[in-house]
């Protein structure tokens, strides 16, 4: 679904159109799960973050003043939920790879997407996910929002509370590290290519919890 489709969906949901609820939940739950899995590291944590994010979204839905910005608004909430989940998760790593462990470069990234993002539509999507998952957390957050979720540099900076220059620098270095990892995979198969996880179906109780919060915030038709 493109930005226009997401905007129309958000407007329909704000207007209380019942048939928009399922499509909104299915679309954004999948996106938040994928983001949270790569940021938090475990499907179990990603499931919790996705549910918590959607609950927060519906609890504050009337605050969405600009439906055309629904994606960055949701990912701001997801980012905060993921940070909280990492702090309390039994799966949180004891040590995070430092940004100092990756090569630095003075050259800043441009606005164009790198060639490897074309892999998103191919069988190498799982390999790309693994390459992203092995980035230091600071680079991973920027790459996910800019290259995977296709948010702008300004939107990414706002979500992560960074300057645009810092976003550009981390994006460039993250892309460079990813290229190195993908080259290593192509030449030496040094990355696992196991399938990336998908979110488990929502239980009836989980879906009803989301629906109840949404109903309490809008006049459902």
Q: What is the pLDDT of residue 99?
A: 43
Is a pLDDT exceeding 60 seen at residue 121? no
Main-chain phi, psi angles of 168, to 5 degrees: -65, -40
Q: How big is the CA angle at 200 (ends 193 and 28), to the nearest 5 degrees?
A: 90
Q: How big is the CA angle at 198 (ends 111 and 49), to the nearest 5 degrees?
A: 75
Q: What is the pLDDT of residue 89?
A: 52
Per-residue confidence band for 98, with pLDDT thresholds at 50, 70 and 90: very low
Q: What is the pLDDT of residues 131-141, one digit of tens each?
A: 898 899 999 99
Contact 85, 36 (CB under 8 A): yes
* C-alpha span between 138 and 101 (Å, rounded): 12
Q: What is the pLDDT of residue 40?
A: 81
Main-chain phi, psi angles of 166, to 5 degrees: -65, -40
Helix intervals (H) in the chain: 3-14, 18-40, 43-59, 70-88, 125-133, 137-143, 153-160, 164-188, 204-217
* C-alpha span between 190 and 58 (Å, rounded): 42
Q: What is the pLDDT of residue 30?
A: 95
Is a pLDDT exceeding 80 seen at residue 207? yes
Per-residue confidence band for 191, with pLDDT thresholds at 50, 70 and 90: low
Please give the mean pLDDT across all residues of the chain.
83
Is a pLDDT exceeding 60 seen at residue 124? yes
Is a pLDDT exceeding 60 seen at residue 104? no
């Amino acid at each position: 679904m493109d930005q226009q489709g997401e905007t129309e969906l958000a407007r329909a949901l704000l207007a209380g159109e019942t048939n928009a609820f399922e499509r909104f939940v299915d679309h954004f739950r999948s996106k938040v799960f994928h983001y949270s899995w790569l940021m938090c590291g475990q499907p179990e944590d990603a499931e919790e973050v996705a549910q918590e994010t959607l609950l927060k979204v519906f609890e504050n839905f009337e605050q969405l003043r600009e439906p055309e910005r629904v994606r960055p608004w949701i990912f701001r909430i997801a980012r905060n939920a993921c940070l909280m989940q990492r702090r309390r998760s039994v799966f949180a790593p004891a040590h995070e790879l430092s940004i100092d462990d990756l090569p630095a470069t003075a050259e800043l990234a441009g606005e164009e997407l790198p060639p490897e993002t074309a892999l998103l539509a191919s069988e190498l999507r799982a390999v790309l996910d693994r390459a992203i998952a092995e980035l230091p957390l600071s680079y991973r957050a920027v790459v996910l929002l800019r290259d995977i979720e296709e948010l702008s540099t300004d939107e990414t900076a706002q979500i992560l509370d960074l300057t645009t220059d810092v976003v550009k620098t981390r994006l460039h270095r993250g892309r460079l590290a990813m290229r190195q990892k993908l080259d290593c995979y192509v030449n030496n198969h040094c990355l696992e290519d196991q399938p990336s996880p998908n979110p488990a179906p929502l239980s009836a109780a989980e879906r009803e919890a989301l629906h109840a919060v949404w109903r309490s915030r809008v006049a459902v038709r």
